[in-house]
Structures are given as C-alpha cells and as structure tokens.
Amino acid sequence: MKFPYIVLISLIILLSGCATNPATGKQDFVMISEEEELAIGKQVFAEMSKSIVLLPEDDPLARYVDSVGQRVAATADRKDLFFRFYVVDDDTINAFALPGGYICIHRGLVNHMNNEAELAAVLGHEAGHVTARHSVQQISKARAYQTGMAITSIFIPIPQAAGMLGDVMATAILKGYGRDAELQSDELSIRYLTQAGYDPSATIGILKTLKRLDDIDTKERIDAGEKVEKYHGAFASHPETSKRIEEAIAKATALQRRSGMVNREALLAAIDGYAYGDSAEQGAVVGRRFLHPELGIQLAFPKEWVITNSPQALTARVRQQKVYFMLTMNEMQKRMSAEEVVKKMFTDRHILKLESGVRSGMPYAHGQVRQSAPNVSEAMIDAHVFLDGRKAYMLTMWSHRDQFNKYVSQFSQIANSFRSYDKVRDGDIPRITLYKWQAGDSWQKLAAQRNNILGRFTANRLAALNGMGIDEKPAPGTLIKNVK
C-alpha cells in the first residue's frame, strides 16, 4: 500500500523545478515558466475585469495612481516587465497583484492615504509580490497538489478529485499570501520606495491606518449585535497588522538617515471630490438614508437601524436585535403585477395579508407572510414590492413572530420612505472634500456638523481617514480630508 505514495513523491520531484527568485536571489520551487506566468496574469485580469469596475485609464485619479506606480516600478526588480496600475471603483480597503505585473488598488484604500509616499508604499508592496513571484510559487504548489491528486486518484480512486483541481488552481492565484511573503513584500516595498525617492517611514502610517479601520469595523459589528470572529480559514496566514507595524518600524528605522518625498498635498488634491464610499452606480449610505443615483431610488431608516450596502443587496438590522431588512432588485422578463411578484416570492398558503395600489407613482403591493427567514426560524415577514418599468424592487423586513407587532410600524415607515431620487432635492452621495483645521475643532464636532454622515462612528472614521486616532488632532491650518 505504500508503493503509490513513493511513486507520487518521485513523480512530483521529477516534474518540479527550481528557479532563482529575481528579488531575493534565492532558489524557489516553481512549476511554470515566466511565459506561462505572463499568460496566466493576462487571462486572470481579463476575466476579473468583467466582474469589477475599474476607473477609466484617462480618469485623473487613475492617471495619478499609475504615475506613482510607474515611479516605484522603475526601481523594482524585474525591470523588463511592463507594470500596469489600475483603480477599482469601490470603497473596499484592498489592493492586489496578479502574475505578470497587473496591480489593482481600490478607491477606498486610496481615499485613506494621507500622502503620496503612503500610496507608493502600497503599490511597492504589491510590486514586491510580483517581483518575488509569490503568485508563481502558489500556483506551483497548487500544481504539485493537482499532480498529487491526479496520481493518487489512479491508485486510490477519489470521486471528488476532478472537481477540486480547478478550484485549487484558481484559489492559488487570488488567495492571500502567507506571513513570510507579506513581510518580504513589506521589506521590498521599503527598498523600492526609498530608491524612488520617497520617505520609507510611510509604510508605518498606512499600516496604522489599516489597524484603526479594522478596529472601527469590529466596533461597528459588535455595536450592531453581530458575532465577530477573526478569519480562520485554511489560507489565513497573513501576519497580524500590529506585527507588520513593528517589522516596518524596524526596517524604516534602519533607513532613517535617508529622508525622502512625502507629497501630502499632491495626494489630497488627487482624491478631492471623489466618492468616499460606494459610487453613484453602487448606491451609498448617507447617515440613516440610502441613495442610489444610478437607479434613481432612495429610502430612509429609523434611528436604531444599522445599514450595510453590498453588491448583492442593501441590508439593515435593528441594533442588538434580531430584526432585519433587505432590498433587492430584479429585472423582470415578462410583465407582472406587483401582487403577482409577491405571490411568486412566497407560496399563497403563507401569505396572511395582501394588498396593492400605487405609491410614490409606482405600482405597489404589500404582503405579510408567516415563514422562516434568515437568522429567524419562526418569523413574520413584511414584504413590499414597487414596480418601475421592468424593475421590481423588493423590500423584505422580518422579525420573530412574537416581536412583529413591536416593529411593524417601523417596517411601514421604511416602506413609506421608498421613492424616486432627485440630486437637487435629496443631495449627493458622500464625497471627499478638503478642509483647513481650525482652532477648537474636533473630530466629534466635524461629525456633528455633517449630521454623522458616515453613521454612528463618523468621528472615528473621519480621524482614521486622516491617519489619526479619535483623540489626536492636527495643528490649526492643516489641510485635512472631510466628507460632505
């Protein structure tokens, strides 16, 4: 029975190879050539571009990010590669690199930069993943696993083997890197941005901002009543942010004799006027309201509701309670009445009440349904459907049956707020604006002036947006980022 495993190990060794890492000079385990690496990166980027929204290459922010990226890439290893830098138009705090030099940074992360050197640090970090061929190493490990699965299945049949192979390969490209790779990219980033003329201590600033944002996100989720768990999946091997900060400080200290550019005002000017959170095409949460300029709709929530916008749906819940809301939109293929849409959503035997008419100039139906729902097994559901041409907007609200009468008036209030959106009447989505800090200002004061536009923790978010904690203040006259 041991013979197949001996054959397996032998074949993997024969199929594998070693290559000199361009960034470290060390020998790495690889199973693909550079030509394959470039082809894979091109293919993955083409496929990914179909499901994400990139700023056009001639957009001012996209041009600015590319110019900073190209300056850093000119100092990086693998100078024969054409690096490409793109901005993903959403509020995600993220950046990633694909094989062959395709580097994307999300607008949400760019918004939280406080100088050009910080942007260079992040782009240099992602360039480090490319120059050190981290994705190539992961793909090679996945191929070794595939080879092992294929050979093992010859001797020990595994029905699931065929389906697992493609999944493992795809995951190898897009999953996060391990601790050693992340710390190595931090080190390469400091080297690259220093050689490009930037201040190497910028790495510390952006890592501290990431830590603050993670802490705020945890506070918001706990405040809403969610159970917060750290990701513990098979690929959760990233170093903790605090540890990365310590490592970055040590490396930057070693280079402290080399001062460099910061270019704070250039970065602030580049992001002035851009959306803070989601774009007009995705809709945005503004305080206790949700605006969707692209679809032309809006609605509002009572005070204790916590609102979350995602590409799949708009969701909300009452703080610390199992009371929920979800808004979805469906493009209908055939004409249906609003009442028919409700009946299609739920079986007739579950619908206890059904009425229809016209609200906000749209055909409308309202039903109350006795049926289980997410997070509530014995639920009562309040469902509202609005029709706008071929679009069917479905507002679904629910709680435990014993609590339904307590919240039904709030459900009605939310549904009654659903109407068309007008920018002049209803205002714009939150955008970055520049402001000079005045004596007597505080983050709490600015948040109150904006009616807590970013929710319950607006003050914390404004401070983090400017690379500070809630108790820190800039000097009077300092140009900062605000949200209007």
- 417-433 tens-digit pLDDT: 999 999 999 999 999 99
Q: Are residues 435 and 403 in the same domain?
A: no
- Give the single-character DSSP code of 310: -
Alpha-helical segments (H) within 74-133? 107-111, 116-131
Q: Are residues 64 and 173 in the same domain?
A: yes
Q: Is the pLDDT of residue 455 over 60?
A: yes
Q: Distance between CA atoms of 15 and 433, rounded to whole angstroms?
A: 56
Q: Considering the domain boundaries, does residue 279 fall inside one?
A: no
Q: Where are the beta strands (DSSP E) in 262-378?
A: 284-286, 289-292, 297-300, 305-309, 314-318, 324-331, 351-359, 362-370
CATH of the domain at 358: 3.40.1000.10
Question: Confidence class of residue 175 from pLDDT cuts 50, 70 and 90?
Answer: low
**First-last CA distance in the chain:** 69
Q: Distance between CA atoms of 464 and 480, rounded to whole angstroms?
A: 11
The pLDDT of 333-349, averaged and rounded, is: 90
Domain boundary pick from 424, 445, 471 = 424
Q: What is the pTM of this model?
A: 0.79
Domain that holds residue 478: 430-483
Domain boundary pick from 407, 424, 441 = 424
Q: How many CB atoms lie within 10 A of CB 253?
A: 12
Q: Distance between CA atoms of 205 and 264, rounded to whole angstroms?
A: 12
221-232: pLDDT as tens digits: 999 888 776 543
pLDDT at 350: 84
Q: Is the pLDDT of residue 75 over 70?
A: yes
Which tokens sit at 299?
A: 């609605």
Question: Given the structure tokens 């035997």, which residue do they identify?
Answer: 349
Let me know: does 109 contact 95? Beta carbons within 8 Å. Answer: yes
| Burial class of 454 by CB neighbour count within 10 A (0 to 12, 13 to 18, 19+) | buried
pLDDT at 156: 39
The pLDDT of 376-380, averaged and rounded, is: 94
Q: Distance between CA atoms of 140 and 31, rounded to whole angstroms?
A: 5
Q: Considering the domain boundaries, does residue 411 fall inside one?
A: yes
pLDDT at 145: 47
Q: Are residues 245 and 296 in the same domain?
A: no
Q: Considering the domain boundaries, does residue 190 fall inside one?
A: yes
Q: Distance between CA atoms of 336 and 344, rounded to whole angstroms?
A: 10
Q: Are residues 101 and 152 in the same domain?
A: yes
pLDDT at 320: 94
The pLDDT of 79-89, averaged and rounded, is: 95
Question: Confidence class of residue 416 from pLDDT cuts 50, 70 and 90?
Answer: very high
Q: Considering the domain boundaries, does residue 277 fall inside one?
A: no
pLDDT at 147: 42
- Closest alpha carbon to 247 in 182, 197, 175: 182
Residues 6+ apart with CB under 8 A from 190: 121, 124, 200, 203, 248, 251, 252, 255
The pLDDT of 238-256, averaged and rounded, is: 62
Q: Considering the domain boundaries, does residue 321 fall inside one?
A: yes
Q: Are residues 390 and 327 in the same domain?
A: yes
Question: Confidence class of residue 140 from pLDDT cuts 50, 70 and 90?
Answer: low
Q: Is the pLDDT of residue 239 over 80?
A: no
Q: Are residues 436 and 415 in the same domain?
A: no
Q: Are residues 16 and 103 in the same domain?
A: yes
Let me know: does 366 contact 389? Beta carbons within 8 Å. Answer: no
26-46: pLDDT as tens digits: 545 455 778 888 888 898 899
pLDDT at 150: 41
Q: Are residues 379 and 460 in the same domain?
A: no
pLDDT at 220: 92
Domain boundary pick from 270, 296, 315 = 270
The region of weakest confidence among 72-76, 119-123, 161-165, 330-334 is 161-165
pLDDT at 255: 60
pLDDT at 305: 97
Question: Given the structure tokens 């690259």, which residue do they identify?
Answer: 192
Let me know: does 352 contact 369? Beta carbons within 8 Å. Answer: yes
CATH of the domain at 477: 3.10.350
Q: Which long-range contacts (CB under 8 A, 24 or more apart) does 185-188 make?
A: 185/125, 185/126, 185/128, 185/129, 185/132, 185/134, 186/125, 186/128, 186/244, 186/247, 186/248, 186/251, 187/128, 187/247, 187/251, 188/23, 188/76, 188/77, 188/124, 188/125, 188/127, 188/128, 188/131, 188/132
203-213: pLDDT as tens digits: 888 889 989 99
The pLDDT of 279-305, averaged and rounded, is: 93
Question: Given the structure tokens 């490396």, which residue do they identify?
Answer: 251
Q: Are residues 165 and 238 in the same domain?
A: yes
Question: Confidence class of residue 312 from pLDDT cuts 50, 70 and 90?
Answer: confident
pLDDT at 33: 79
Domain count, the chain: 3
Alpha-helical segments (H) within 160-199? 161-174, 179-195
Q: Are residues 305 and 171 in the same domain?
A: no
Q: Are residues 186 and 296 in the same domain?
A: no
Q: Considering the domain boundaries, does residue 318 fall inside one?
A: yes
Element housing 34 (H / E):
helix 34-48
Q: Considering the domain boundaries, does residue 238 fall inside one?
A: yes
Q: Considering the domain boundaries, does residue 189 fall inside one?
A: yes
Q: Distance between CA atoms of 30 and 16, rounded to whole angstroms?
A: 6
Measured CA to CA in angstroms, residue 94 lies from 97, 104, 165, 215, 475 at distances of 11, 9, 27, 16, 30
Q: Are residues 418 and 441 in the same domain?
A: no
The region of weakest confidence among 27-36, 161-170, 408-417 is 161-170
Alpha-helical segments (H) within 331-418? 338-345, 404-417
One-character DSSP codes across 215-252: HHHHHHHHHHTPPP----STT--PPPHHHHHHHHHHHH
pLDDT at 237: 41
